[in-house]
Amino acid sequence: MRFGQREAEVLPRWRAGDRFASSTLSSTLAASPIAGVSAILAGLAASWIATYLLGGARQVVPHFYYVPILFAAVRFGPVAALVTALASGVLAGPLTYLDVAGQTPQETARWVTRTVFFTTIGVAMAALVRPSLPSIGAGIRHRRDARALREALAAGELFVRYQPIVWLNSGRLHSVEALVRWNHPQRGELGPGEFLDAAEASGAIRDLDAFVFEQACRQAVRWKGLAEHRGAAPPRVTVNLSRANLEAPDLIGQLRDTLQSTGADPSQICLEVTESLLIDDLEVSAARLAGLKSLGVRLAIDDFGNGYSSLSALDHFPIDVLKVDRAFLRRATGSTDASNLIGGIALLARSLDVTLIAEGVETLDQRDALIYTGYEIAQGFLYARPLLTDDIDELIDTGHIPETADPTRPRRHTSVLLPDAHSPHQ
Ligand code: C2E
Ligand code: MG
Ligand code: MG
């Protein structure tokens, strides 16, 4: 699916008038402050000139002034509407002849009454449109971001970082998670939190996920070669899947094509789906996951425990990995109940025969709590931040985590070593 196509599909078939009103409102709101003020000044000047050229206020009622007044109301709100209306009152009053040819001034009562109309309508308009402005503004931002994202993808500004996932007992590499980044020309490196919403709202997420999946497959092939050369087990590469992708009818075919074209070994790839995407309809979700499993990849439930308790649902799903949300871990240290909870999840994982990964390990206390409650694998800043491919190469090649991972952390906690050829590769 192309960018923007989904937008066009979901928009109702508006009448031409509605479309015109909506696009006018959108472009008004989208104007920058400088462009907005310039448009108001230009509107006032054009209104004065038009009234003058048409022979003065006797020949033409100066309705032109409503254009800059309404623009100011929508773009800047009631205060700007009031100021523009007062300026219009003066321009259309003492500064405009009643009759240009005769150079007759206007009566005060006439232009004061008109000024009252201008201000009342301007302020009322601002009050009326204000409540709907945030949602219109958000829509504009999303469209703008989606367009920028499409251009970024085409310009090669998106790239993937890989965060190591490690064995707790040895600090050796278990797998890596592919996490998308945007190398923005003005704003620097952006995390997904800054653009995923726009990508999801516009449908651009499908292209984004396809890009990340292909990159991850290519790296998986490279890392397999590197690791085998070193006599180590190749790290698995896990990739996040969005709702739009999970629900796309052509997803399986696309993934299969990418696996084939890159030559990636499906068993080295793991797809992560957040728990919240699976609770709507258990049967449908289970069928979708079974379709993915048929590719030969592994499946993980991401952010497990994040607001939903679908423990019973887990049994329905053909999953291999359970990633426990970092919110659990944050609460686990210092609270017996919370630490019982993460222990309970460990028991659950064992009974379901799935691999358990704790997300967001930041401190040694958290690591100790995990080991104590039976966890074996973890991901978190304590071990490494999301890294560049070269850093992962180096990890596989030399067994040392590069300084770039987190220079603020004491060296003794940064040991991520070679993939362990002797560990059972879960
Ligand atoms: P996630 O899949 O749960 O990925 C883990 C997130 O937690 C990453 O954030 C990672 O940097 C962060 N993290 C890891 N360890 C720690 C830690 O110890 N402390 C803290 N505070 N954070 C930690 P990131 O890269 O910002 O990604 C956020 C979310 O964006 C991901 O959560 C995932 O849901 C989504 N995402 C990332 N890349 C992609 C992608 O390519 N496609 C899709 N659909 N979603 C993606
Ligand atoms: Mg994830
Ligand atoms: Mg997660």
> Does one domain contain both 170 and 241?
yes
Please state the atom number of ligand 1 nearest to the C-alpha of residue 359: 15
- Ligand number with the minimum distance to the CA of 367: 1
Band of residue 407 on the pLDDT scale cut at 50, 70, 90: very low
Return the pLDDT at 381: 93
In a domain, 411, yes or no: no
Distance of CA 334 to the CA centre of its chain: 33
The answer on pLDDT for 20 being more than 60 is: yes
Taking the centre of ligand 1 as the mean of its atom positions, its distance from the CA of residue 100, in whole angstroms, is 69
Band of residue 338 on the pLDDT scale cut at 50, 70, 90: low
**What is the average per-residue pLDDT within 138-163?**
86
Dump pLDDT digits (tens) for 220-262: 999 999 999 888 889 999 999 998 899 899 999 999 999 999 9
> Does one domain contain both 74 and 209?
no
In a domain, 404, yes or no: no
- Ligand number with the minimum distance to the CA of 304: 3
Return the pLDDT at 17: 57
Residues 6+ apart with CB under 8 A from 135: none
Taking the centre of ligand 2 as the mean of its atom positions, its distance from the CA of residue 279, in whole angstroms, is 17
When mean pLDDT is compared across 72-81, 124-133, 257-266, the lowest value belongs to 124-133
| Euclidean distance between CA atoms 239 and 235, whole angstroms | 13
In DSSP terms, which residues pair with 387 in a beta bridge? 162
In a domain, 405, yes or no: no
| Euclidean distance between CA atoms 199 and 242, whole angstroms | 10
> Does one domain contain both 99 and 160?
no
**Quick check: CB of 167 below 6 Å from ligand 1?**
no
Return the pLDDT at 22: 63
The boundaries of the domain holding residue 328 are 156-398
In a domain, 140, yes or no: no
Return the pLDDT at 18: 55
In a domain, 375, yes or no: yes
> Does one domain contain both 171 and 124?
no
Taking the centre of ligand 2 as the mean of its atom positions, its distance from the CA of residue 177, in whole angstroms, is 7
**Quick check: CB of 157 below 6 Å from ligand 1?**
no
**What is the average per-residue pLDDT within 332-338?**
67
The answer on pLDDT for 12 being more than 60 is: no
The answer on pLDDT for 131 being more than 90 is: no
- Work out the widest C-alpha separation in the chain, in whole angstroms: 102
The most confident of 255-259, 311-315, 327-331, 372-376, by mean pLDDT: 255-259
Taking the centre of ligand 2 as the mean of its atom positions, its distance from the CA of residue 239, in whole angstroms, is 7
The answer to whether the CB of 244 falls within 8 A of the CB of 410 is no
Hey, which of 179, 182, 247, 377 would you mutate to test ligand 1's pocket, going by the most ligand atoms within 8 Å of its Cβ?
179
Number of domains in the chain: 2
**What is the average per-residue pLDDT within 35-60?**
92
> Does one domain contain both 36 and 182?
no
The CATH code of the domain that includes 256 is: 3.20.20.450
Return the pLDDT at 11: 40
The answer to whether the CB of 184 falls within 8 A of the CB of 153 is no
The predicted model scores a pTM of 0.73
In a domain, 139, yes or no: no
The answer on pLDDT for 403 being more than 50 is: no
Structure tokens belonging to residue 277: 């995407």
Strands 158-167 and 173-184, how do they pair?
antiparallel
> Does one domain contain both 215 and 173?
yes
Return the pLDDT at 53: 92
Backbone φ and ψ of 329, nearest 5°: -65, -40
> Does one domain contain both 255 and 121?
no
**What is the average per-residue pLDDT within 88-98?**
92
> Does one domain contain both 379 and 275?
yes
Band of residue 170 on the pLDDT scale cut at 50, 70, 90: confident
> Does one domain contain both 116 and 253?
no
The answer on pLDDT for 5 being more than 90 is: no
Dump pLDDT digits (tens) for 271-304: 999 887 877 777 888 899 999 999 999 999 998 8
As a whole number, the mean pLDDT across the chain is 83
Residue nearest to atom 8 of ligand 1 (CA): 179
In a domain, 334, yes or no: yes
Strands 173-184 and 236-240, how do they pair?
parallel
The answer on pLDDT for 418 being more than 80 is: no
**Which of the pair, 170 or 121, is modelled with greater confidence?**
121
> Does one domain contain both 161 and 291?
yes
Classify each residue of 373-382 as buried b or exposed e, where b means 16 or more C-beta atoms within 10 Å of its C-beta: bebbbbbbbb
Tell me how long the chain is.
Answer: 426
**How many C-beta atoms lie closer than 10 Å to residue 366's C-beta?**
21
**Quick check: CB of 242 below 6 Å from ligand 1?**
yes
> Does one domain contain both 129 and 199?
no
Cβ burial, residue 408 (10 Å; 0-12/13-18/19+): exposed
Return the pLDDT at 25: 67
Structure tokens belonging to residue 315: 């049994």
Strands 158-167 and 188-190, how do they pair?
unpaired
Return the pLDDT at 420: 42
Residue 81: which of 28, 26, 137, 17 has the closest Cα?
28
Residues 6+ apart with CB under 8 A from 417: 170, 171, 172, 173, 395, 399, 400
The answer on pLDDT for 45 being more than 80 is: yes
In a domain, 270, yes or no: yes
**How many C-beta atoms lie closer than 10 Å to residue 330's C-beta?**
14
> Does one domain contain both 117 and 183?
no
